[in-house]
Structure 1
């Protein structure tokens, strides 16, 4: 008689399959225990299966949720002229909605519109989507278990979860007081992402900042995108471990700020009239906080050597780095000073970046014993013959190192990249080269991302 693994073991196994939806889906068919375990993980963030090119997926998810509606909600549907005969003959095996830990209002809205089109409802308005969202909240969805929510500031559904750990809000011209209450009512908010905060009035802005005060000690990750903020408030989040900023206008928030637990900093800055002041602030920020940083991403549209010199001087414990590198000596300085560096990301097709041959040569000769990861970005073109030769020389040089770790190599390729038609080398040749050095244990892992 076959031995049945206990539920705790199955949970641990299936959790490792969280990003492998096909394998996880096949686990539903093994037996009842595997089914009960896997279905909870699949439905935890069911919205990640959304695919704009595959509307039948949206239809299937919404139909399943509608099938979970109680009779009272079905009657409300009929009274409002929405008659949907869901093609599910038997009652659902589970209350699937109760397994949801993540809600994306945007994706719900799009999925519902796909469903309405399928059933040939002539006029589709935002009220339809809000109405459906209300019905879903009535479908015995245990939103007290919800841990992650993405929404716009004009959404005002009939539920509020007080146990969110992650909240993403895209602010629009329309502002709902529910958003303020949603923020202030959370008991253990850890991750906050805010976009387009400048679209609200000064009064609403003050209300939002006030509601955030409650989370000054619990928030560990903060992202501000396209937020021209006039009042300093970032410094109140004393326990931040990750900070993401994408605009020069928010950098003054960092002035003289100290975060004892900050490990990850990701910033985007542009060349503008205020860029010199921004550089000075970032320079000072790295001087104060750089020693604790392990991950640093600096995305910029022009070269600023002083910032690279600052990170080489003040960030000795970096493990992952992305920055605009244009000269050989600066790269050597970074590799020598950041002795714990494990991964570096490099824009291979950046015309104003450091020459690729020099980059690979310096990397092979000056990277320290912990280094193993290389991420190459291709935004517009893929000079494949040049890449082939660069990689071949780099692998040979890496093979000759006295202290060597097997490499992890990742290509990040834009959807709009192009390869010169006259090229005699193609991606298959690149993969064959990589496979050759895998056999020599020079390369441990290769991944292609788009």
Structure 2
């Protein structure tokens, strides 16, 4: 006799499958109970798909399903305004899919509608795009019982489509834990949130020249704020809101600063004693403010990232001397010899590293691999004026610590100098390692499309021979490596997830 697991047990099991969409889709077909549980998980973060490459092909399916979920009053309003979108099926929907959403992005909704309706613009006025957007947002406000994440960037135009968005009262935002927004949103929006949301864990704000008092009150009213992402572009600045952020100096553990200039200060974080993660992503300027942080001790800091414009190397060296022992991840595009050597000296517990080595600095890579015995992942730029891939492979094979399991090679300007024999030698060496670990071999470079045997490679990937790619395929099939390719412009660090989509 068959035994059915209790509903709560199934739900807990399916939660672990959230990132495994293929398995969840299979669960839809088992029985109605499995379908009921898995469909909630599949739909709750639907708008996360909006920003994936080639995601526009799913826009019509998502939009037609949401239109079918609209109340009759909204459907009639759209129809009377000449807007007709066919439902996904002639039969009634099995579920109210709109009620499953836990994440909303206003820009995602607008982008989807503009994309689907663009072919109907001869029949539908551009102004009516706003009508569809507002009716869908109103439906979400009435039907989502508990919203967890809201991404709301004020959008007037998208691809020449005009939007006038009116954000309704939204009772389901009582449980909101993550907010991403712009500082110049209407005051009523921030006031509404201040009345019902006091437990935001994460706030991301794109600051313009205008910062409303209601936004300050919203930030000030939070009980246990942990993450804050500050973004200021095109003349915007977060300086006026620093006193409010500082009120949460004892609870905030992650701070990320993004800007295209150096007009916004960040030295105020010296009092944030519980910081675990710091990101300084500035596209211009010299980060002189870092001078004030170089001797500050952050006893819990584990992640430090400075991907673009860098402080003076001596500032970073002093900072690492004070904080390097606890660092687990360190990323910088700096290529200073003394700074590189200081990593080996002051950061013995690193698990992940990206730093630029100049040509002739193979000895520094060797020293880091020997001194950082907990290192699991390293990203290295190879090519002109940088290390050669052949030398990198030899050094990693010989000196990488036992826990090492991920090698990222960024082919910079030129092709790889590693021959098929060099690759074969490296993979054979890895095959003989004790203990044996699957190596993630990640190539970052140009990615045209080619096919080798049964394998599809979206790459030129810096290799100039099919023989090299065949060697990679061979050891991928043997289970020695997991091979991944990424374009040079692709964001390849999870912590650079795009909270800012405007």
Regarding TM over 0.5, the answer is: yes
Could you tell me which residue of structure 2 aligns to residue 190 of structure 1? 226
Distance 1:211 1:100 in 2: 31
* Mapped contact 2:230–2:256 kept (Cα < 8 A): yes
Distance 1:429 1:340, change over 3 A: closer
Unpaired runs of at least 5, structure 1: none
Distance 2:243 2:298 in 1: 21
Instruction: Note the alpha carbon deviations across 1:135-194, whole angstroms, 9 max, x for none.
Output: 245333223333333333344485536243333333345655554444334343333222
Q: 1:342 aligns with which of 376, 394, 403?
A: 376
Alignment partner of 1:312 is 2:348: no
Q: Secondary structure at the match of 1:259?
A: coil
Instruction: Give 1:39 shift.
Output: 2.1
Summarize the alignment of residues 14-29 of structure 1 with structure 2, pairs less than 5 Å apart: 14-29=14-29
Q: 1:151 aligns with which of 167, 181, 198?
A: 181
More displaced 10-residue stretch of structure 1: 171-180 or 6-15: 171-180
Alignment partner of 1:242 is 2:295: no
Could you tell me which residue of structure 2 aligns to residue 200 of structure 1? 236
Instruction: Give 1:354 shift.
Output: 1.8
Q: 1:122 aligns with which of 96, 121, 125?
A: 125
Alignment partner of 1:357 is 2:390: yes
Unpaired runs of at least 5, structure 2: 145-171, 448-458, 488-502
Distance 1:232 1:413, change over 3 A: closer
Distance 2:110 2:133 in 1: 8
Alignment partner of 1:328 is 2:362: yes
Q: TM-score, normalised by structure 2?
A: 0.74
More displaced 10-residue stretch of structure 1: 352-361 or 146-155: 146-155
Instruction: Note the alpha carbon deviations across 1:263-305, whole angstroms, 9 max, x for none.
Output: 11111244xxxx6x622221111111111111111223xx201
Instruction: Give 1:125 shift.
Output: 8.4
Instruction: Give 1:404 shift.
Output: 3.8
Distance 1:151 1:126 in 2: 21
Distance 2:133 2:387 in 1: 51
Distance 1:347 1:267 in 2: 16
Distance 1:409 1:236 in 2: 39
Instruction: Give 1:85 shift.
Output: 5.1
Distance 1:353 1:421 in 2: 17
Could you tell me which residue of structure 1 aligns to residue 492 of structure 2? none
Q: Secondary structure at the match of 1:29?
A: coil
Instruction: Note the alpha carbon deviations across 1:407-449, whole angstroms, 9 max, x for none.
Output: 412323345564689735252342114434x3xxxx2644444
Distance 1:138 1:234, change over 3 A: same
Distance 1:198 1:85, change over 3 A: closer
Could you tell me which residue of structure 1 aligns to residue 328 of structure 2? 294
Distance 1:91 1:210, change over 3 A: farther
Q: TM-score, normalised by structure 1?
A: 0.82
Summarize the alignment of residues 13-412 of structure 1 with structure 2, pairs less than 5 Å apart: 13-50=13-50, 53-70=54-71, 81=81, 83-84=83-84, 87=87, 92-117=93-118, 120=121, 121-124=124-127, 131-132=134-135, 134-141=137-144, 142-156=172-186, 158=189, 160=193, 162=197, 163-172=199-208, 179-196=215-232, 199-200=235-236, 205-206=239-240, 208-226=241-259, 228=262, 229-230=264-265, 232-247=267-282, 248-249=286-287, 251-252=290-291, 254-270=293-309, 278-300=312-334, 303-326=335-358, 327-348=361-382, 350-378=383-411, 382-383=415-416, 386-399=418-431, 403-412=434-443
Q: Secondary structure at the match of 1:23?
A: helix
Distance 1:363 1:176, change over 3 A: same
More displaced 10-residue stretch of structure 1: 103-112 or 58-67: 58-67
Distance 1:235 1:398, change over 3 A: same
Distance 1:134 1:29 in 2: 30
Distance 1:42 1:145, change over 3 A: farther
* Mapped contact 1:347–1:378 kept (Cα < 8 A): yes
Q: Secondary structure at the match of 1:405?
A: coil
Instruction: Give 1:375 shift.
Output: 2.2
* Mapped contact 2:472–2:483 kept (Cα < 8 A): no
Instruction: Give 1:196 shift.
Output: 1.9
Distance 1:171 1:426 in 2: 48
RMSD over aligned Cα atoms:
3.4
